[in-house]
Chains A and B, each alone.
Chain A
Amino acid sequence: MKDLCLKPTREGYVEGILQAGRENSRVVVIEGDVSRSIGSASFGEEFPDRFFNLGVSEQDMLGEAAGFALEGFIPFVGTYGVFLAGRAWDQIRTSICYMNLNVRIAGAHGGVSVGPDGATHQALEDVALMRVLPNMKVLVPADSNQTRAAVIASLKADGPVYIRFGRNPVPQVYSSGEKVRIGKGNLLREGNDITLVACGAMVSLSIEAAAILMEKGISAGIIDMVSVKPIDRELLVQQVGKTGAVIVAEDHQITGGLFGAVAETLARELPVPIDTVAMQDTFGTSGSPERVMEKYGLTAIAIAEKAQRMLQ
């Protein structure tokens, strides 16, 4: 746990690919005309030979990445998650996942917390779209330090990895030495009454929610499930076994994302009452990130209220 300095998770992506590029000469970056928006242009400045801006062409970007991977490179493909996971889903399925290629897909602008750009640019279905694909791993880091660590962790993974990050500055939850292990979540806090399972921007809000709950005498545990797929089954079952109730919090549609992953796991392993704070099968809208998140109930207070209601 760290101080509450605010930083967009996308900055961690840029730090991560720069570090990856320095450590591994097989790392290449493929961009789709948003490198100045997500910040990966700095990779192009340091490694001009390994930086390819393909313009506004998501389908081609993913196919090209497959080709690079077939030649032993580790391509990071970055653009807005809604277009990567949506527009190029068939390329990701057939040209990347079916061949189990080492492509790293970086989905920027994840969640309704993107704010002012509005519904078209808020990736709300990307985790679901990526999670259903065989061979795909899905990471949803909570802050920039964890995003950088997720990028580094992905280097050693076998097969494709989707890393989702956000546009809006979020509190730093982790220190700069943070490490991510694919398939592992982080138990941020032990609890006895209820477990909050969160990812991405909802992790720091869950920490706030746990503080609110503590004032009301409720002991909430917090799992940061950065590895949505493969999910950390062991940690989940162990912690939920103690509390017996779960709230899942994510900046994503209610179907198919982290709530789905947690519910699928617990339905088989440890059926307990479970509820969620997520987008309720609806598109987002423009507005400041804070106001938009309030509108859709993605707040610490909403998490705390759901937890209280569940325990009543």
Chain B
Amino acid sequence: MLDNAQMRDLALQVRLDVLEMIRAARSGHPGGSFSAVEILVELYWNVMNVRPGEPRWSGRDRFILSKGHTCPALYSVLARRGYFDPAELLTLRKLGSRLQGHPNMHVLPGLDASTGSLGQGLSIACGIAHGIRLDDRESRVFCLLGDGELQEGSIWEAAMTASHFNLKHLTAIVDRNRIQLDGTVSEIMEIEPLADKWLAFGWDVIIADGHSFPSLEKAFEHCAQTPFPSVIIADTVKGKGVSFMENTCIWHGRCPDEEEYAAAVNEIQGGLS
């Protein structure tokens, strides 16, 4: 078990990895990767029961990255957790790399599904949760959704299914950074009131600070106990950790130039303990 300072350092390391990966690839999605960092670190170090040396172990908890475009953060977390050598991170998006632009489960260990087309991950997670229950196994299933992604109707089909079949081993996390590719979520297509929507669909809803480990820890503990499918609405900041990337849609899918890269690295390194 890592202490809070170690978790914070890990999160900073993941942000540095993401920056370096996107710079090497000359493309990628920094904004939504940065907003999801603490959620992923909390899941992989504190919440999920996994064996990085045995990635297909049947007793593992499952994780589906429905917002597949933010895979640089997941790849870094998997590498730092021991699924593969962090040196491979710099191959992101390059020909022959196992680190595809969006996750491909068949080439990279640690991925429980291939994703990238928004709106599909929650249905996959429901099917996995259904299958696990049919086999009388205990694994939990986690699914990370973007807030812009909730504009996909298929998400709400899956939300009905999870509640209708009471898939209580399923926890969704909404990375509510309030910004999508073209602008703010409320400008483009309002999804609020979000907690009310999930409640109305029969889910147990908990709101957390998506950049605070104690807040996330409490939320995940709550979800482990609830008799319903649960969703953590994690309030986050798009581009979190690099001031000029924060709260702007410009950095949804843009690669920093050398000057921006140096400034970003400086700022993140300044936070390391």
Contact = CB atoms under 8 A, between A and B. Distances in A.
Given A60-B154, A67-B130, A70-B127, A90 B117 contact: yes
Contacts of B115: 94
Interface string B87-125: 000000000000000001110000011111101111111
A202 interface: no
B122 A63 contact: yes
B131 A63 contact: no
A68 B161 CA distance: 14
Contacts of A69: 127
7 contacts: A60-B160, A64-B123, A71-B135, A73-B131, A75-B127, A95-B120, A99-B106
Given A57-B157, A57-B160, A64 B130 contact: yes
Among B112, B120, B161, which residue has the most Cβ atoms of chain A within 10 A?
A: B120
Contact of A71 (B104, B105, B121, B132): B132
B129 interface: yes
B161 A57 contact: yes
A54 B167 CA distance: 13
A278 B273 CA distance: 71
A98 to B, nearest CB: 5
B127 to A, nearest CB: 2
A59 B153 contact: yes
Interface residues of B, number: 33
Given A57-B161, A70-B112, A99-B105, A64 B126 contact: yes
Interface string A286-301: 0000000000000000
B1 interface: no
Given A49-B134, A60-B158, 5 more contacts: A59-B153, A60-B154, A63-B123, A98-B114, A99-B114
A26 B113 CA distance: 20
B50 interface: no
B161 A67 contact: no
A63 B126 contact: yes
